[in-house]
Structure 1
Amino acid sequence: MKGLALARAYYETVGRVALQENVPALVPRMAVGLAGEGSECFGFDDEWSRDHDWGPAFCIWLEEADYRAHGARVQAVYDSLPGEIEGFPARENGAWSGGRVGCLCAPDWYRRYTGLPEGPETLAQWRRVPEAFLATATNGEIFDDPLGRFTAVRERLSRFYPEDIRIKKLVARAAVMAQAGQYNYPRSMKRGETVAARLALAEFTKAGISMVYLLNRRYAPFYKWMHRGLKGLPKLPRAYEQFRLLGEARPGAETEERIEGICLTVAAELKRQGLTDRTEPFLQAHCLEMMKRIKDPRCGKRTSWRSDRHEKARGRDRRHGMGNVR
């Protein structure tokens, strides 16, 4: 059984009744579900996930005033729930995983992942929040939320970045993919710098997977789940397989071929979404085109990239050299 399904069963079988019997006045003012840190909150948990921080558990989110006045009492009810369900022992807080389940303060919970009690609103605030934190704040499921306040924040965050922020991030990912994968990887291999080549490939892979999430308007999770999370995304549905093949490719020409294939796919999707008018697979060439789509000057249109130098470098280097990188 998956952790999310187990959490819902634990709540609906024993949790809801216990809360209604012991804190009935608070039940209409609490949100209940499972979200936050942990593979089960993303639906990625498997048999290997069960060796720590896994088992029947759920979150009870209270508004700040209710939490300050009644949080300890609600937590006591939660702690009194049966120690297992369907043969699975209830989750126990580990040394590094306390405060993930049980009674929680809703504003503090959002502040933990976004720095703000209701998440970012301004462009500057959006830019400061790590993408994986936004993925964590919007994953999982909400089982009950009569007030709707907790869910309202969650739904607003789930609508994804403001478009100008998304474009700025797409530009950054395209630049890293071009620099690390299309330029530095092959040059490092030619020089026999295999460690540098592996580091370049890692940079390309992380930026490339993040690019796929941005094109799907989804937040990329913590790095160890980034590839797993590509499964089922509607835009670039072959991305999971493309990056799997990249990870298994032989160093050198085969890896370069995989890199170019991914970049060609990404360039086509950028054009399909109206973010660029260019068609070439060299992603650096698309950065200035994308920057032109940014409407709010507060997001910043300045850039240090010089596409004319890049075009000249391409003529010098068959592997799409970048003029401002040595």
Structure 2
Amino acid sequence: MKAIDYCRALFEEHIEPAVRDSLPEVLPHLSAGVIGSGSQVLGFDDERSQDHGWGIASCKFLLPPELVVSLGSSLQKVVTEAVPESFMDLSSREHLGDNPICVTSIDAFFEEHFYGAHPPGTVPDWASADASRLHYARSGSIIHDPSGALSNRVQEFRDSYYPEDVWRWKVASSLWLVWHYGDYNSFGRLSHRGDGVGLLIGQGHCVAHSMELIVLLNREFPVYWKWLHQQYRRLPKWMDETYSFFQQLDSTSDIRTRGLAIRDLCEQLRQVICEAGLVPDSSWRNYMASKDIAAQIEDEEVRQLIRDEEPRFFCW
């Protein structure tokens, strides 16, 4: 049972009829959906997810600002009272816990959860934006939105992405970290020294940054680490070419085998960035070609940010 299916059924069978009876003037302006953060917003929730922030607690009720002021409290009361003790064999009211039904405006909700009512508008804002929050902002499922206001806001985030040179910087950063934790240290040093615990630390970083890289190459925003693997598994490009290396790391404790899997993963990633058009061929390049890609950046504002924040890539 996914939270979105549960909330949709609960809304249609209990909440919408109650609002229609008590506050019919609200319905044309109401937007409701499973949005924000958490596994349920991504569609990754399972039975284990139901112990917190699940069910009706994950459904947000949004109104124009003036209606939040005049009718927000009344709507919150109607919705809360409409939630039955149990629904679809689950204790629906328990999901609320100490969290009241969320009634706010679209702008206020996006400001609180995503640090901006709209996508970033400047190069510095894009460069500093939290990638996971940007991914959540374009995720979720809408249950009720006759005005289209919430749908339009989510679509605005789905239609927005990093400026090209900010994206190249993000890709270069991920590649440098793959090189540092993977090719250079995990394979080149820790596995040869027989340091299994050190290798465990390094390979975890290498795996995470490799998946982040593939997400970026698919022009998506990498999500919070716990759900990064699930996001990666659903990507249309380069997942099939790289997943076997992660499976090898998952299936063995042998230090040498793990080191070789990381080496082979890095070799495959060289091929991937070539296929992505970032380098002319898959030849070995120092730092996993991260500095070669950073050198392609032409935007002066991005170059200045790199000089201030990640000077190892500053080459102009």
What TM-score range do you get, normalising by the shorter chain? 0.7 to 0.9
Counterpart for residue 304 of structure 1: 312
TM-score by length of 1: 0.83
Task: Kindly provide the CA deviation profile for residues 202-253 of structure 1, in whole angstroms up to 9, marking residues without a partner as x.
Answer: 2211111111111122222221111122222101132444323323333432
Counterpart for residue 210 of structure 1: 212
CA gap of 1:209–1:92, structure 2 versus 1, over 3 A, is same
Distance in structure 1 (CA, Å) of the matches to 2:37 and 2:16:
23
Q: Give the superposition deviation at 1:297.
A: 1.9
Sequence identity, in percent? 23
SS at match of 1:146: coil
Counterpart for residue 102 of structure 2: 102
SS at match of 2:103: strand
**Uncovered stretches (5+) of structure 2, i.e. residues with no partner:** none
Indicate conservation of the 8 Å contact 2:182/2:266, yes or no. no
Whichever residue aligns with residue 14 of structure 2, its letter is V
Of the structure 1 ranges 280-289 and 124-133, higher mean CA displacement relative to structure 2 is found in 280-289
CA gap of 1:295–1:306, structure 2 versus 1, over 3 A, is closer
**Uncovered stretches (5+) of structure 1, i.e. residues with no partner:** 308-326
TM-score by length of 2: 0.86
CA gap of 1:155–1:265, structure 2 versus 1, over 3 A, is farther
**2:262 is aligned with 1:259:** yes
Task: Kindly provide the CA deviation profile for residues 37-67 of structure 1, in whole angstroms up to 9, marking residues without a partner as x.
Answer: 2212211112222233323452212233322
Whichever residue aligns with residue 53 of structure 2, its letter is D
Counterpart for residue 69 of structure 2: 68
SS at match of 1:88: coil
Structure with higher helix content: 2
CA gap of 1:47–1:114, structure 2 versus 1, over 3 A, is closer
Indicate conservation of the 8 Å contact 1:78/1:103, yes or no. no
CA gap of 1:241–1:140, structure 2 versus 1, over 3 A, is farther
Counterpart for residue 278 of structure 2: 275
CA gap of 1:23–1:275, structure 2 versus 1, over 3 A, is farther
CA gap of 1:267–1:113, structure 2 versus 1, over 3 A, is farther
CA gap of 1:50–1:92, structure 2 versus 1, over 3 A, is closer
Residues 236-255 of structure 1: matches in 2 within 5 Å? Answer: 236-238=238-240, 239-255=242-258
Task: Kindly provide the CA deviation profile for residues 125-180 of structure 1, in whole angstroms up to 9, marking residues without a partner as x.
Answer: 12222211222222221123233333223212223323222211110000000011
